[in-house]
Structure formats: structure tokens, C-alpha cells
Amino acid sequence: MKVLLDLQYLNVASTGIKTYMMELAKAARKYPHPLIEWIFTHEPETQAADKTYKSAHSKVQKLNYHLDYFRWKEFQLPDLIKKHKPDVLICADFVSPAASLPCRRLTVIHDAFFWQMPKNYSKWWRKYFTSLIRKGLKEKTEIITTSEYSRNSLLEHLGDSFPISVVYQAPKGLKAPADPTFLAKNRLTTQDYFLHIGTFDKRKNLPLLVKAYAEFLAKSSSDKKLVLAGGPGESKQMNDLPAVENLVRECGLEGKVLLPGYITDGEIKALYQGALGYIFPSENEGFGIPILEAFGFGVPVIHSDQQALLEVAGGAGLSFETGNQADLTEKLILLESKTELRSRLTQLGKIRSKDFSAQHFIEAYYQIILSSTPAP
């Protein structure tokens, strides 16, 4: 059986979708199946390194990218299908070709944010992109999503015309050695900071975290710092970085809250290895990869009680009421002051992380690919 994996979107993908596509491709190669022949549209590492459209800021550059993406999905990818004659096409970036195809389609729709949070997107762009998604849902299409929470959300917004299966993904494999100089350069030492890694999208609730952290300092007399690593939100509507920077100044937290921006895998590894705790205050997630990354490094996690994060953490994290600043502050105080709690959460997290391996990830795909009847 031939399976064609569409990896074109790696030339602009960031954070979660990039991790998903890269880890799926790696797992397919690391754990081959005797009945399946994989065909990649692009070499993963090469496509991910292509910077042609990564710095697209002007309207003309963005338009050129969208035209290139449309060309790929509607003309070049169908031509590849004619050439390779796959039995199954996997599109891991929400969109499958609108053209009729002779093969099964597995389309990965990671979450329902476009429908749940329309205010976070440009009205025109959102309408265009959701139209592309819907036009690709045709014929022998099966939807793959990342959690039961996402599945229920998609059923609410897309209906049940196409079967939707949940496949738990694997976290990013950080192969680079930890950068031993990064903590020292940022005046950090082991166990003296809380950590969050990710873009400053509004749904991440990072201003809430900064406010809760300021209250934590006032109530606990602690000298623990807060590291918020990552770049700005993906659009003007979604970007909370300016709000966070203003809060840091208003609360007098310069030198306490560190904003190192985008960081390398080696720097990410160093931050995880030294963190006292990982804080994930998001109001909406389809999955929650950082929780698993932190678990894998033995870092205790505080997370909101948003449904996908509760599902992924599986009781191995310390949850607080989503959006409740006072509750988050209390959890920060609790985590810092209770050594036994940190030890217990570390042990639970390591156990939980084993449920999300690369092998489990690809085996779930194999089960769907080899099934003669789509999942209910």
C-alpha cells in the first residue's frame, strides 16, 4: 500500500503543526510497516529549512505565498497523485485538494480555533482558509485530530459527514545537546525560574501569567524568575507580546521576567533541564505539546483546566481554573514551597509521557491506514 505524505507546508509551519509534520515523517522512517510504502512530497529537513516565505511581511510577499500554497494544493499535489498513484494521501495542515482524487484522504485538522475564536483572525483570511478546508472535505475523506476535545469541537462545527479519529501525537525530539552557556548568559541558575515556551498568541493567556507571577512575588517574597521564551503571535490580531512587555514595565518586573525570543533546540533543552516548573495558562488548546515536553524532562507542570490540557496531562499536572489569576498565583506558591509535591508531579509526569511516544503515534496511523472501513 502506498501512502503519500504532503510536507509542503513545512516551508512556513511553526510551533505545533511543524512539530506534528516533522515527528510524523521521522516516525514513519524509524518504524516502517511491511505493508506500507511511504512517499514524501518533500524531504522534511530540507523543506523546513526553506526560508523563501518565512520572512513574508509585506502584502505582496504574503499574497505570493498564498498563491504558491493554492497552486500546490490544487494543481501540483494532484499531479503527484497521478504520478505515484498512492492508496492514501495524508495532508497534515488542515487542507486537502478540492479536486476529485482516486485515493483515500486523511486530513489532519488540529483544532477548531478558526470557528471557536474568529476574533483572533483576519476576517478575509479566515473566510478564505475555512473555505479551503471545507472544499477539501470530499469523497473518501477521514479527518484526523489531536484530542477528544478537538474531536468534539470539530463535530460541533463541521458535523459528522466525515469520520473523525483521534491520534495522539509525539512531542518534538530535541536531539541537539543542551546549550551549557544559555542559563549563565541570562543570569539563570537551576531551579530558580518558572518557564513557558511558545508564541505569544492571545489564547495562551500570558498577560494573566505575568499578573499572577507579580502577585506570587508579593505574597511569597520569592526570588524565582519567570522565563517566557518564544516569538510574537502569528498575526496582529493574535499577538499578545506588546501587552506582555507593557505589563512587565508597569509591574516593575524588568530582570524578573525574561523574554529571550526565539531560541534554539539546545537552548530549549537547557531551559527545560533547569526549570522549577512549567506554566501553561492557555484558554484554548487542541493538544498541548509543551506539557509532554516538560514531563519528559521531569519538570512539574501547572496548567489551566482547559479540556485538552486536562486530557493530555492525565492527572499528572497541577491544574488551576482557566482565567483565574488568584488560583494560578496560589498554585505557583504551592509548587515552589512544596518539595514533595514537585517530586510527586515529576514522577507522574514521566510515567504519563510514555503514553505519547513516536512509536505509539505512527502505530495509530497504521491502524487507520490499514483499516478497510473508515473509523466511526
Q: What angle do CA 1, 8, 115 make, to 5 degrees?
A: 100
- Percentage of the chain modeled with pLDDT above 90: 84
What pLDDT, on a 0 to 100 scale, did the predictor assign at position 57? Answer: 66
| Same domain as 260, residue 123 | no
Q: Evaluate whether 168 touches 147 at the Cβ level (below 8 Å).
A: yes
Q: Is the pLDDT of residue 376 over 70?
A: no
| Same domain as 361, residue 331 | no
What pLDDT, on a 0 to 100 scale, did the predictor assign at position 74? Answer: 95
Average pLDDT value for residue range 183-199: 95
Residue 326 maps to a domain = yes
| Same domain as 163, residue 210 | no
How many residues are present in the chain? 376
Whole-model pTM: value is 0.91
Q: Give me the CATH number covering residue 249.
A: 3.40.50.2000
Q: Is the pLDDT of residue 165 over 50?
A: yes
What pLDDT, on a 0 to 100 scale, did the predictor assign at position 374? Answer: 47
Number of domains comprising the chain:
2
**Which range of residues forms the domain containing residue 221?**
182-356
| Same domain as 136, residue 215 | no
Which grid cell is 338? 512544596
What pLDDT, on a 0 to 100 scale, did the predictor assign at position 55? Answer: 65
240-297 pLDDT, tens digit each:
999 999 999 999 999 999 999 999 999 999 999 999 999 999 999 999 999 999 999 9
Residue 375 maps to a domain = no
Higher pLDDT, 14 or 19: 19
| Strand ranges across the sheet with 88-91 | 37-40, 2-6, 88-91, 104-108, 141-145, 164-166
In this structure, what are the phi and psi dihedrals at residue 283, rounded to the nearest 5 degrees?
-90, -15
24-70 pLDDT, tens digit each:
999 999 999 999 999 999 999 999 998 887 765 677 887 888 899 99
